[in-house]
Amino acid sequence: MTRYFLHLHYCGKLIPDVEGREFPNLEAAVKRAQMEARDLLAGEVREGKLCLGCQIEVVEESTGRAIIVPFSSTVHLESAIEEKPNMGPA
Amino acid sequence: MKRSRTWALHSVPACHARHATEQDDAFPLSSDVPDAKIKLLHQCSYALDHNLVARSRHTGVVGKTYADAQADNSTVRLTNLSYGGTRGLALGIGPQKERAMPQFHLNVFVDSNAVDEEGIERANLEIVKLEAIVGARNLVANLIRYGKPVHRTHRIEITDEAGNLLHKILFGDVIDLRS
């Protein structure tokens, strides 16, 4: 297991992950970061806002390798105005 | 809240919905609970066949089931709600009486559309709009949480009892998007 730090860059503020957490690999750490990003966004949406400019920086302790997980990459917003045939009431 | 509202809401943990009894009423909710605290997620057809109990606010009588209420034409309202940090399923059974307030239906149009057959009684459309906005935000939040696509054009439509469209709440309109 390798230790990874998930630093949160949240609306201009850096919230460092000082303890870190262990994951089997970088992919698992990134997956966790994506999940946490979605949780934060879901909380925001309940208050009526959605800030997609924030991100989580995943840093591998042993190598210093870092991967950025932008919040915008964790949400699928579809704005195409494509009415489905069965959308209207019967 | 107006005195004319007669709902007696009792929270039943959703996980116990099939076997709900009076003791599952962790925290009785009276009609004095502000509307803002009742976050309407969707009309829950899930529990229609379940033998949930409700207590009359006025008489304290316990034991009327959903089936009983349907049989004697009592007014019934079934919703998911979130209150005091606890989520649960709430069942409200009112007495047989003429409606003091107009009835509105909140039909949810997402990938799987949900027609609100029960409806809710509210004093006016503005109150219903606020509830629909809260409901839409909750739906969007759940979509995001589970990594599902959010369509800005998905919506909640508010209709009156005759099915006339009164207002449309687009998901894209209830969230202030910032980048």
Q: Is A9 helix (H, G, I), strand (E, B) or coil?
A: strand
CA–CA gap between residue B174 and residue B137 (Å, rounded): 7
- The first and second tokens of residue A12, run together, are 């201009």
Question: In the sheet where B155-160 sits, what is the strand order?
Answer: B120-121, B103-109, B155-160, B165-170
Q: Which residue of A has its CA nearest to B151?
A: A78
Contact at CB, A38 and B177, closer than 8 angstroms: no
- Tell which B residues from 124 to 163 touch A, by Cβ distance under 8 Å: 133, 137-138, 140-142, 144-153, 157, 159, 163
In this predicted model, which residue has the larger pLDDT, B124 or B30?
B124
CA–CA gap between residue A33 and residue A6 (Å, rounded): 7
End-to-end Cα spacing for chain A: 55
B chain contacts of residue A80, beta-carbon cutoff 8 Å: 151, 153
B chain contacts of residue A49, beta-carbon cutoff 8 Å: 175-178
Picking from A2, A4, A1, A3, the residue whose alpha carbon sits closest to that of residue A69 is A4
pLDDT of residue A78: 81
Contact at CB, A42 and B109, closer than 8 angstroms: no
On whether the pTM is more than 0.90, the answer is no
A82 interfacial to chain B (CB closer than 8 Å): yes
Q: Can you say how many angstroms the Cα of residue A23 is from the centroid of all Cα atoms in its chain?
A: 17
Model pLDDT for residues A55-66, shown as the tens digit of each residue: 999 999 999 999
Question: ipTM of the predicted structure?
Answer: 0.80
Q: What integer best gives the mean pLDDT of chain A? A: 87
A51 interfacial to chain B (CB closer than 8 Å): yes
Contact at CB, B144 and A41, closer than 8 angstroms: yes
pLDDT of residue B152: 87
Element (DSSP H or E) covering residue A29: helix A26-46
Is the backbone of residue B63 left (phi > 0), alpha (psi -120 to 50) or beta? left
Q: What integer best gives the mean pLDDT of chain B? A: 62
B chain contacts of residue A38, beta-carbon cutoff 8 Å: 144-147
CA–CA gap between residue B59 and residue B72 (Å, rounded): 17
Q: Which residue of A has its CA nearest to B158?
A: A89
B chain contacts of residue A77, beta-carbon cutoff 8 Å: 149-150, 152, 177
Model pLDDT for residues B25-66, shown as the tens digit of each residue: 333 333 333 332 332 222 232 333 333 333 333 333 334 444
DSSP conformational letter for B114: B
CA–CA gap between residue B51 and residue B93 (Å, rounded): 13
Which residue of A45, A76, A87 is in closest CB contact with B175? A45
- The first and second tokens of residue A51, run together, are 């800030």
